[in-house]
Chains A and B, each alone.
Chain A
Amino acid sequence: MFGGIDPALLIASLMVASVPIILAAIGELVVERAGVLNLGVEGMMIMGAVCGFIVSVQSGSAVLGFVGGALGGAAMALIFGLLTQFMLANQVASGLALTLFGLGLSSLMGQSFVGIRPPSTGAVPLGPLADIPFFGRVLFSHDWVVYASIASVAATWWVLKATRTGLILRAVGESHDAAHALGYKVRRIRMLAILFGGAMAGLGGAYISMVRVPQWTDGITSGAGWIALAIVVFAAWRPWRALIGAYLFGGISVLQLNLQAAGARIPVEYLSMSPYVITILVLVIMSSGKGKAALSAPANLGQNFHASR
């Protein structure tokens, strides 16, 4: 019905395609809710990609590879955190520098790993569930990271909404001065959020190099980090909306690839740009309306905190 494109396969592959962006976006969402703007998502993702790839190839274990990817992303985030939270460097400049640094360093580290296949990450054996027609293919035949990414959205939503940890995190992002006056450790809370964001971006990156592609090439993340950043903003800092944004992007990516393969009479350039354009467009429309986006942004986003007063 879609010109020979199987809808079950399409949905199943869009879920896979969206995983890196969901993970990175959820991490960045938490960071920004704590009032920190880390533009280095792309750099953290690609470092996660290369670290995950190297660890998994060397150890032969995909799970260890993901751990390595998370640690690689977190290590990059640690640099960003030290720069911005302790040395009070400008967050925008530090984040951009982190991306450039990550792209360069990952390319250096990955040089001797080009052309190798990483150990595979198999589907979770869900037994009879996977045999259900349509839904079995769509929902129950994925690897564990797909389920983990959706669980991370649910967990983040619940923590932010219903727990004291989430309340404190939001409070720090809303007004660091007030949080400090009440005795909360603004710097420590923000550092933890930054590390979490780095680890999530690293996981997302590792998923690209270990499952999506799966091999190492330079610049493998190809802008997924930037899309994750945009999704956080246009999702108005809400986890479920970020999931919708990521699925939209993943869906259009998969669809346009299928259309290219099916030989659609649209120039390839337009098809290739369509995921970026349509995702941004839809999210802009969703978040527009009178000053809504401005109100849902954490009030102290991107502002450095210094406890002098």
Chain B
Amino acid sequence: MTRPDLLRVEGVTKAYPGVVANSDVSFAIAEGEIHALLGENGAGKSTLVKMIYGLVKPDSGRMTLRGTAYTPAEPRAARASGVAMVFQHFSLFEALNVAENVALGMENPPPMKELASKIRSVSEEYGLPLDPGRMVGDLSAGERQRVEIVRCLLQDPKLLIMDEPTSVLTPQEVEILFRTLRQLSAEGTAILYISHKLEEIRALCDEATILRRGKVVATCTPRDRSAREMAELMIGATLTPPERAGGTKGATALEVVDLSVASPIPFGTSLKNVSFTVAKGEVLGIAGVAGNGQDELLLALSGEVRAAQGAVKIDGKGVGHTGPNDRRALGLVAAPEERLGHAAAPDMSLVENALLSGALRKGLTKNGFIDWAATEAFAAEIVKDFDVRTPGTHVAARALSGGNLQKFVVGRELSQTPTVIVINQPTWGVDAAAAASIRQAILDRAAGGAAVVVISQDLDELLEIADSFAALNEGRLTTPRPVAGLTIDEIGLMMGGAHGMEVAHHGH
């Protein structure tokens, strides 16, 4: 390749108290190149791009853009130099409309009317149609991402940074995004693509830089490597996929009949006529793009949102009208997605958090008094069984890293000898080794006769552990199907296909 370098990063180091996020990181991106930045959660990818985007200042090292020194003091300076970024957690304002959101990301936006017509023309040119007048809170995840991309494109970027862009998209939407990115690359825009999805990187990227614990451990051309090779470079060890015992399905443990509830969350999605059954020993995987009713389904199953009595049945007993404690008494445990503030009280210790959900099933209270010795033993047991890395059970939940806290809250629920388990995003933000152990624990409980509902946006995870598969799309659940024999195309269609975006790329 003879393309000149656009951005060079040389020996960049950034340390936070107690952790070195980036240590002597160097790599280069050529003009028009799609360059992958690959690594596990916590490998330092996000810190690195934040430095390129001017949100964080490096402690040492230098960056050059087209041969001249590049030291953006703030995102505004980065944007002025032609660097744009699409964020992982969208930097959008739900109560503002599309045009206002775009205007906020620009230095000198034209008047609103002009901007609206520009948004229309640019978004159609790149196959990402958008209505500038719509409220962002009403858009699907895929459409929200388009708002971010269009916001970047309006500024004619030389380098587009994309942080985990596909984690919220259906397979069909991913295809559309990739076509857009290839079109941009052909026009000379370089793309820095951050992901841990290896097959996507093999399909899209020209070069890859692999980070592990803040250091560059390898660079490679993704097309020439297998996904497995790259995974091992990324993790630095070989992975053992979870084993599953040949499950025997028992009697129906959880039955959901025609469940419809209004969403208690602003801009949330109401559940519409959701029906499914899960047998003892079965794992039902529920897929879907974020914001299609996953949170609401968990709330309705755990009892935080109540429905008609017959809508949710545990072992044939109607419990739809009861609260979480009544359902827990019957053996249903639930682990929500949001760890801090929903699954765990951030400022309370692990012991106290263990008590909060375990009191009933583990008998941790007597006559209204807390049995602290038993509670501490329960917390210690979770820490030991689920390999939670913590100085002790007395530390506040907030002090644990995301992955460790996730192991704790999932472990806490699984350790209550449940008969029905409901988990939303069991391995969100958890490193690969911990994710594997959580999945193994879920499979073990299923093998022990529990009925399990796993809601996840990670399709690979669902295909790995689920026996049957369904998808949520705008609050409706598809009919569950056995996982064996499902193709990725069929799954994509179950998730809602491209949400009416198929025609977008015609005419190119």
Interface residues of A, Cβ cutoff 8 Å to B: 164, 167-168, 170-171, 174-175, 177-179, 181-184, 291, 294-296, 298-299
Contacts and interface: CB of A to CB of B under 8 A. Distances in A.
B443 to A, nearest CB: 34
A182 B91 contact: yes
Given A167-B103, A174-B95, A294-B266, A183 B76 contact: yes
B54 interface: yes
Contact of A164 (B54, B109, B266): B109
A291 B75 contact: no
Contact of A178 (B79, B91, B103, B266): B91
15 contacts: A167-B103, A171-B96, A171-B100, A174-B93, A174-B96, A175-B94, A179-B93, A179-B104, A181-B75, A181-B91, A182-B91, A182-B105, A291-B266, A294-B266, A295-B266
B287 interface: no
**Can you list the 8 inter-chain pairs with the closest CB atoms, starting with the nearest?**
A183-B75, A178-B91, A181-B91, A174-B93, A183-B76, A183-B74, A171-B104, A171-B93
Give the residue among B55, B79, B103, B104 with the most A Cβ atoms within 10 A: B104
Contact of A170 (B87, B91, B96): B96
A3 B79 CA distance: 68
A299 B94 CA distance: 9
Interface in B39-76: 54-55, 74-76
B90 A178 contact: yes
Given A183-B76, A296-B95, 4 more contacts: A164-B103, A171-B104, A182-B104, A183-B79
A291 B103 CA distance: 28
Given A174-B95, A183-B54, A168 B266 contact: no
B94 A174 contact: yes
Nearest to B16: A308
Interface string B256-275: 00000000001000000000
Contacts of A296: 95
Given A171-B96, A174-B96, A181 B55 contact: yes
Nearest to B46: A309
A296 B266 CA distance: 10
A269 to B, nearest CB: 40
Chain B interface size, as a band, is 20 to 34
A164 B109 CA distance: 9
Give the residue among B95, B100, B103 with the most A Cβ atoms within 10 A: B95
Contacts of B87: 181
Interface of B: 54-55, 74-76, 79, 87, 90-96, 100, 103-105, 109, 266
A181 B93 CA distance: 12
Contacts of B79: 183
B372 to A, nearest CB: 30
A295 to B, nearest CB: 6
B104 A168 contact: yes
A167 B94 contact: no
Contact of B93 (A175, A291, A294, A295): A175
Contacts of B103: 164, 167
B17 to A, nearest CB: 11
B100 A167 contact: yes
A177 B55 CA distance: 12
A170 B104 CA distance: 11
Contacts of B105: 182
A167 B104 contact: yes
Nearest to A178: B91
Give the residue among B79, B93, B94 with the most A Cβ atoms within 10 A: B93
B115 to A, nearest CB: 11
A177 B87 CA distance: 12
B163 to A, nearest CB: 11
A183 B109 CA distance: 15
B133 to A, nearest CB: 15
Contacts of A171: 93, 96, 100, 104
A174 B137 CA distance: 12
A178 B86 CA distance: 12
Contacts of A298: 95
A223 B90 CA distance: 42
Contact of A299 (B95, B104, B109): B95
B314 to A, nearest CB: 30
A167 B105 CA distance: 11
Contacts of A175: 91-94
A182 B103 CA distance: 11
A41 to B, nearest CB: 24
A294 B266 CA distance: 8
Contacts of A167: 96, 100, 103-104
Contacts of B100: 167, 171
